[in-house]
Chains A and B, each alone.
Chain A
Amino acid sequence: MTRFVAGRLGQMVVVLFAVSVLTFLIFNVIPNGDPASRMAGKSPTETQVEAIRAEWGFDEPLPVQYLRTMEQVLGGQAISYFTQLNVRDEILRGLPRTLALAVGAAILWMAFGIALGLLGALRAGRLSDRLLTFAALAGVSLPVFWLGAILSHFLGYEWGLFPNGGYVPFAEDPLDWAYHLVLPCATLAVLFTGFYSRLVRSNVLDTMGEDFVRTARAKGLSERRVLLAHVLRNSLIPVVTLWGLDFGAVVAGGAILTETVFDIQGVGQYAAESVGQLDVPPVLAVTLFGAFFIVVLNTAVDIAYALLDPRIRVGER
C-alpha cells in the first residue's frame, strides 16, 4: 500500500509538471501575436507592454519564459494589468465562496443522484423509470447559465421566494448565507443530478445481473440487505470516485457559469469577468491553480479508491 501511494504521488508530480507546461503553451506559445501585449489587456501603452515583457521574460528563450511565468503565477506576484489587483489574493478571496457553492451542490447531486438512480433501477422498464430517464436527460440538456438566470429571475425577482443572486459571508449571517446559496447550489446540482442518476441506475442494473447478487439471494438474505450490502456497495464505488473528481472540477473553475449568473463572486466569476476584459493573467492563474487542484484531488481520490476496493490494492502490489 505504501508503494502504491508513493507511486501515485510520483505520477502526480509528473502530471503537475505537464499541466503547467500545457498552460504555459496555451497562453504564451500557441496563439499568434505578442504574448506581452496580450497580457497587457485591451488597450495597453507601449511602456506597459515593455515592462511586462521584461517582467515575464518574453524576450528570453522558451524554457526561461516558462520558469518566469511559473514564478510569477505560483509565487503570487502576478497582477491583473486591467484592475492592478494581485491575482493570487483575488483567487484566495473567492475560494471560500466557490467552496461553499461546490460543497452544497455536490451533496445535493449525490443524494438525489443515488435516490433517483436507485429508484429508476428498481422500476426499470416501467413508466416511472422512463419518466425519470427523460427527466435526467432534460437535466443534462439544460445550460446552467440559462437555467440559473431564469430561476433567479422568476423565483428570485418575480416571486421573491429567494434572494436575487449575491453572496453573504457565513460569519456575517449563517442563515442568510445558506438562504443565498440554495438556488445556486440547486441550479448547479441539476446538471450533475441528471448525469449521476443515469450513472447510478446503469451501475445498479449491471450489478444486479452479477452472479454474486444471485448468490446473496440464494443465501436467503432479505431484499433490503441484498440491495444495500451487495448491490449498492459495488455499484457506488465508481460513482464515489467520480464524485471526488467532479467536485474538484467545480471548485477549480467548473462553476464559472453558475457563479456568474448568481453573482457569487467566487473564483469562477473572477475568471469569467477577466475573460470579458480579455485580461489574461487572472485567467492563466485560475486555469493553472484549478488544474493543480484537480490533479492533487485526483491523486487523493485514487488512493481512497484503493482503500475502498480491495482488488485494486492487490493489482498494484
Chain B
Amino acid sequence: MGQSPWRLALRRLRRDRIALAFGALFVVLALLALAAPLWADVAGRGPNATNETGTIDVGGEQVDVVSLDGVPIGPQWRGEYFLGADANGRDVMVRLLYGARNSLLIGIAAALLTTLLATLVGLLAGFYGRWVDAVARSALDVIWAFPVVLLGVALGTALALGGLTVGPIDLAAGSIAISIAVIAVVYVPYMARPIRGEVLALRERDFVAAARAQGASATRTMAGELLPNLAPTIVVLAPLMVANAILLEAALSFLGVGVVPPDPSWGNMIDAGVERLVTAPHLAIAPGLMLVLSVLALNVFGDGVRDALDRRGGAAWEAERP
C-alpha cells in the first residue's frame, strides 16, 4: 500500500513540535470552555451571578468583594474568585470560561459556515465559469469592498434591534446566531477567492479532462476530482478562519454589537475591563490573554499545517524534476 499525500503531510506535521504544541494548547482551551459549569460549581456561583455587597475570607479577614468606592477584589488564586471579581461582584474566572464558550462557539461555527459557503461559491464559480462566475465574483467583490470590522459593525448594528429572518430560520435579535451569521458572511470572500482561483487552475489540469472524457458528470467531477484537491487549501485556511472569526467576534462584542451583556464574551469583558484598567487591571488582562492565546495557538498551528501540506506537499510531487 502506498503513502497517501495526506499521510505524508501528517508525517511532516508530526515532526513540527511547535505547531503540535500550539494545536494542543487550543484543544486545552476548548476543553476548559467545555468544563465551565464544573468550575462554576467549584467557585460556587454562575457567570451572571452578581455579588455587590458580599464579603469573602482573605487570610482570616472578611474583605468586601466590591469595595465601597466600587473597586472589585483582585485574583485570589483559589476556587472562589480565582481571578478576582468584576465591578458587579461576578466571578471573573467563571465568566472567563463561560465567555470562552461564547467566543469559541461563535468563532468555530462562523468559520465552519464561512468554509461551507466559500467552498460552495468558489467551486461553482470556478467550475462553471461564464455567468455563474461573473455573478459570484461581483458579489464577492462588493463584500470585499467593505473593511471587515466596518461591515461586521454595520450588519451588527442593523440587526441588533429586529434580528433577521432567512427563509424559515428566524435569528432573534441579540442571539449569538446573529453574530455567527454576520461573521461568517463577512469572511466569505477572503476564503472563496483563493478557492475559486484554485478551482480555475485545477479545472485546466488533464486529470479533470480525463474524467470528463470518461463521461463523469459535472457533480461527479466536482466531488471526485476537484474537491479532494481543494481539501488541502481548505484545511490550511480553516484554522486561520477560526482565528479571524474569534478576533472579529471579540471586536464586535467590544464595540457592543456582539454578545449582549450580561452574558460574557471575551470581547465585552475586555470592553468593561478597559474602563477599570487603573483600579482593577485583571478585568482587561485576563480575557485579553485568553483571546491572544487561543488566536495565537490557532495561527501557529495553522502555519504548521500550511508548511506540512502546502509547499513541501507540492514539492513532493515535483520531486522528480531534474
Tell whether, in the assembled complex, residue B142 and residue A18 are in contact, meaning their CB atoms are under 8 Å apart. yes
Which of B92-100, B187-195, B209-217, B296-304 has 4 or more CB atoms under 8 Å from chain A? B296-304
Which residues of chain B are near A256, meaning CB under 8 Å?
Answer: 149-150, 153, 255
Which residues of chain A are near B143, meaning CB under 8 Å?
Answer: 22
What 0/1 readout, one digit per residue, does chain A (258-275) give for beta carbons within 8 Å of chain B? 001100000000011011
Tell whether, in the assembled complex, residue B274 and residue A261 are in contact, meaning their CB atoms are under 8 Å apart. yes
Nearest CB on A from B263, distance (A): 17
Which of A45-53, A85-93, A132-140, A301-309 has 4 or more CB atoms under 8 Å from chain B? A132-140
Nearest CB on A from B15, distance (A): 14
Question: Given that A22-B143, A31-B164, A32-B162 are known contacts, is A150 also in contact with B288, CB under 8 Å in the complex?
Answer: yes
A142 located at the interface, meaning its Cβ lies under 8 Å from any Cβ of chain B in the complex: yes
Chain B residues 228-281 with CB under 8 Å of chain A are 243, 247, 250-251, 254-257, 270, 274, 277-278, 281
Chain B residues 279-307 with CB under 8 Å of chain A are 281, 284-285, 288, 291-292, 295-296, 299-300, 303
A284→B145 CA distance, assembly (Å): 15
B160 located at the interface, meaning its Cβ lies under 8 Å from any Cβ of chain A in the complex: yes
Contact size class for B? 35 or more
Q: Which of B138, B142, B270 counts the most chain A CB atoms within 10 A?
A: B142
Which of A115-123, A214-222, A227-235, A291-299 has 4 or more CB atoms under 8 Å from chain B? A291-299
Tell whether, in the assembled complex, residue A275 and residue B145 are in contact, meaning their CB atoms are under 8 Å apart. no
Which residues of chain B are near A149, meaning CB under 8 Å?
Answer: 270, 274, 277, 284
Tell whether, in the assembled complex, residue A275 and residue B157 are in contact, meaning their CB atoms are under 8 Å apart. yes
Contact size class for A? 35 or more
Which residues of chain A are near B173, meaning CB under 8 Å?
Answer: 32
Chain A residues 134-175 with CB under 8 Å of chain B are 134, 137-138, 140-143, 145-146, 149-150, 153, 157
Which residues of chain A are near B163, meaning CB under 8 Å?
Answer: 31-33
Which of A65-73, A103-111, A181-189, A247-255 has 4 or more CB atoms under 8 Å from chain B? A247-255
B117 located at the interface, meaning its Cβ lies under 8 Å from any Cβ of chain A in the complex: no
Closest partner residue, chain B, to A250 (CB atom)? B147
Tell whether, in the assembled complex, residue A275 and residue B296 are in contact, meaning their CB atoms are under 8 Å apart. no
A19 located at the interface, meaning its Cβ lies under 8 Å from any Cβ of chain B in the complex: yes
Tell whether, in the assembled complex, residue A137 and residue B154 are in contact, meaning their CB atoms are under 8 Å apart. no
Which residues of chain B are near A142, meaning CB under 8 Å?
Answer: 292
10 A–B contact pairs at CB < 8 A?
A30-B159, A140-B299, A143-B292, A153-B278, A253-B147, A254-B150, A256-B150, A257-B251, A257-B254, A257-B255
* Interface pairs A-B: 6 shortest CB-CB: A33-B162, A32-B162, A254-B147, A253-B150, A141-B296, A146-B288
Besides the known contacts A137-B296, A254-B150, 11 further A-B residue pairs in the complex with CB atoms under 8 A apart: A19-B146, A27-B158, A33-B163, A141-B295, A146-B284, A150-B284, A150-B285, A257-B255, A260-B255, A290-B150, A291-B145
